[in-house]
Structure 1
Amino acid sequence: MPAGFSRSIHAIATDGHRGSIAGVAIGAVLLSAWLAWFFLARVGRYEASVSARLEVGQAAHRVEAPLGGKVAAVHLALGAEVAAGDVLIELDVEPLRREIDDKQARLEAIAGQMGPLRAEIAARGRALRDGEEAARAHVDEAKARLREAEAGARFQEIEAERAVRLRQDGLVSEAEAARLAADALSRRSATEALDRAAARAYVERRAGQSEQQAELARLDREAATLEGERLVLEAAIKGLLAEIDRRKIRAPIAGRVGDITVLRAGSFVSEGDVVAAVVPPGELRVIAEFPPNSVGRIRAGQEGRLRLDAFPWTEYGTLSTTVDRVASETQEGRIRVELGVRPDPASPIPMQHGLPGSVVIETERVSPASLVLRAAGQIVRVRGGAGG
């Protein structure tokens, strides 16, 4: 019995010694593996954005009201596709249309006056030309009669002079010579009367022509006044039509309505109010903002993952991104980073402008030992700064 107990104790001691050796060996292997991982393995170091947003390559265009007024009609729908120049909102133009109607009525009245006035001007012009031709014919006739009377008077004067010579020779009686002298004087007086009548007719003709020309000039001035008023009214109507067109707020570019201001007929807008935003078509990109301590760590070409707030990454996954550009200076304590996004056809996430989220970028791969040493260095610096 004592011999058997002794052998049992010896066996237990031997097994315990062997177990200790095996435990030490396993521990050494695990420690070696951990040290190898700690110093040789590479783990990613990441920078997370403060904010991120999906945007198209071109900035969205804000649609502003060019002037203030009451809204008459709204043709806006969020997400609707629009072409450049499409009317989005119409402002009230009723007062302008009433003013156009008034001016149009005045134009029609002027047109009604211009027709008869032009006809009268044409008729008076023809009458003036006909009167001038008739006056010239009358003058020519008077001149012909004057020449005829002048010839007759001259003949009678020659006959009277001949009768005087014959009377001196006793060949003609005194009575005959006196008669011939009287006839010559009568013919001369008649000739002078015709001359004065021709002069009077010429003066009267010129006076009549002057009156007709003055009346014609008055009618021309009246027509010119009406024509000037017509041109002014037409220019005013054009200006009012342009003003009506200005009261149609149009899409500045083709694209999709990305944002709208709630408006309805009867609402009022002021000049410069933003009523909508049109997102142009184009490739989407990610605009992210990082804390300032990321400067120097983020570089073009680095890979990242985009997580959208509206689509939890645990359910919908993430989108792959690549850093395109990094701002060289901070703005408002943040650094701007632009990333290209690679859409995944199999992903249920919609690629839509304006979706917010966050971006995580792998900036480097280092060993865990390096991370521990960096953390220790930061702790030492912080404590050293606090102690100083």
Structure 2
Amino acid sequence: MLVLVVAWIASGLIGREPLEEPAEDAPRPMAVAVAEHRAEPVERLLVLQGRVEPDQRVKVRAETAGQVAEWAVERGAEVEEGDLLVRLRMDDREARLRQAIARERGAENEFEATQRLFAERHASRTALEAREAELEAARAEREAVELDIRNTRITAPLMGTLNRRVAERGEFVGVGDPVAEIVDNDPLLAVVWVPQHQIGRVRPGQEARIRFLDGRRAEGEVRFVAAVAEPGTQTFRTEVQVPNPERALPSGISAGVDIVTEEVRANKLSPAVMALDDDGRVGVKAVDDDDRVVFHPVEVVRTERDGVWVTGLPDKVRVITVGHGFVTVGERVTPRPQEAVDGTLAPGTAPAVEDTP
């Protein structure tokens, strides 16, 4: 009986299939939101703060001494080259001119008479040369008086705006004393100081944009770059020429200057998608063709109100916009278009778009 019982139990075990352990569910890839970006040509800008100066600022000085008789123009008036600005009193200049003219005529008569005597051999060559020298001296005296009279009329040496009247009516000015200041605001000069580590990016002929404090903007061109840095600041004076034919833009004010140094291909991103890798590099996490996470170091080209332009990304790239903080480089993920998950994913929260079973 015992043998029959054991045989019956054994026959039941032999015919039964072995039990399988329940398999654990394989982990599904993390779902992330991605946005597809394409690189575009972008200008790399050197953004500086500077000061707008006139192209020329000239102090008009008196070339003869005298008392200011009258002004021909008011302050702020536009003048052309050669326009009369101010007139000095004549005083005794007209009397000295008449005296010089009379002396010249007498010397001329003496010279002509000596010429006739020399031709008749009644005068020596020495006497003739002496009379000629007296005539030249008389002419020079007359020309000097005439020049002195012309200098009583002080004219504009260039076209511009009469910015200041230094000497007013009734004041006495000497030779070389300033009388007026004329400013030429066409073109304007936007002067900036380029740091020494950036000077290699700047050269004459580059395009530049000027932002005035009142909101107006203008276009210009780099005209001058200093060859030697300032000893105290180690910066280089750079001048941007700004056309101002209507003279509507003022000088002497502060302004922002953006110099276009080169054109690069860049992608425009939100700063929220940028992060640091283990080496402290600034970059962006993206998804490659195998749906694996890759990290691209980037360099900021310029910033705008609605994003930043960066280089270092491929021309076509899928950037992880939501969930990049929860995935690591090399990890396989399930990318979802940003448009399909708007409203279900929020930056800084765990992804909520995992695959459904």
Point out the structure with the larger strand share: 2
More helix by share: 1
Please report the TM-score for the alignment, with normalisation by the length of structure 1: 0.41
Give the structure with higher Rg (CA).
1
